[in-house]
Chains A and B, each alone.
Chain A
Amino acid sequence: MQEADKSLLVVVRHGPYQGQLAREALDAVLTAAAFEQPVSLLFMDDGVFQLTPNQDGSAIDAKNLATMLAVLPMYDVDRVYVELDSLNLRAISPESLTLPATPVGGHALRDLFVNNAHLLSF
């Protein structure tokens, strides 16, 4: 019997401080990674604001989300993608992001959804 494909794509589409969504997305990614499941992370729409520099969550009594995302490499999460259109629309340059993320669009973007067995959106 073939082993079930556990690959997971976590799609992050909301800003860093809108309710608990960003935290929940990070928890989902870290949990999958802690159990050594293949996990990819895609930031699109306002989700790309999670990767912008100079965040100071303490101003609104929240944990700094960009700081927390920096833990991803420690968990060996290196498949991090960011949608190019979302960046362009918001005048954000890929070089300014707080994490190394691969810009994707078109077919490469679609392939992320097709090639991962499970999708989780936040």
Chain B
Amino acid sequence: MNKIEVEGATVELDREGFLRDLHQWSRQVAVELARREQIDLGDEHWEIIDLLRSFYKEYKVSPAMRILVKQAGIKLGREKGSSLHLLRLFPGSPAKVASKIAGLPKPTNCL
């Protein structure tokens, strides 16, 4: 079983490292999930994580990359609404990696 230990509690993950129970998410869990991706969370990461969590809270959908870029531009300022900015923060597949750390399901339209 894929799992992590955070502050004495066991948090189960699926095969790809996404939370099995989204309610288990906490900021400490995010730090641990990020560590597994070799990401050290800073303010700019948290901005994106908070953005993702409020988007999911409203729509119950994890946004695809293009939508995340657009939302970041609207909510955080134009210079942050770029693929490059997101790739720098969450290398590889930003929408997928950031959703994972934010404790959301994998974006359905993320191949």
Contact = CB atoms under 8 A, between A and B. Distances in A.
Interface of A: 26-27, 30-31, 34-36, 63-64, 67-68, 70-71, 74-75
List of 3 A-B pairs having minimum Cβ-Cβ separation, nearest first? A34-B64, A31-B109, A71-B59
A85 B1 CA distance: 52
Contacts of A30: 61, 64, 108-109
Interface string B60-96: 1101111100110000000000000000000000000
A34 B67 contact: yes
Interface of B: 58-61, 63-67, 70-71, 108-109
Contacts of A64: 60
Contact of A74 (B65, B71, B108): B71
B60 A63 contact: yes
Contacts of B59: 67-68, 70-71, 74
14 contacts: A30-B64, A34-B67, A35-B109, A64-B60, A67-B59, A67-B60, A68-B61, A70-B58, A70-B59, A74-B59, A74-B67, A74-B70, A75-B64, A75-B67
Contact of B63 (A26, A27, A74): A74
A10 B109 CA distance: 16
Contact of B65 (A34, A67, A71): A34
A42 to B, nearest CB: 20
Contact of B61 (A35, A36, A71): A71
B67 to A, nearest CB: 6
Nearest to A63: B60
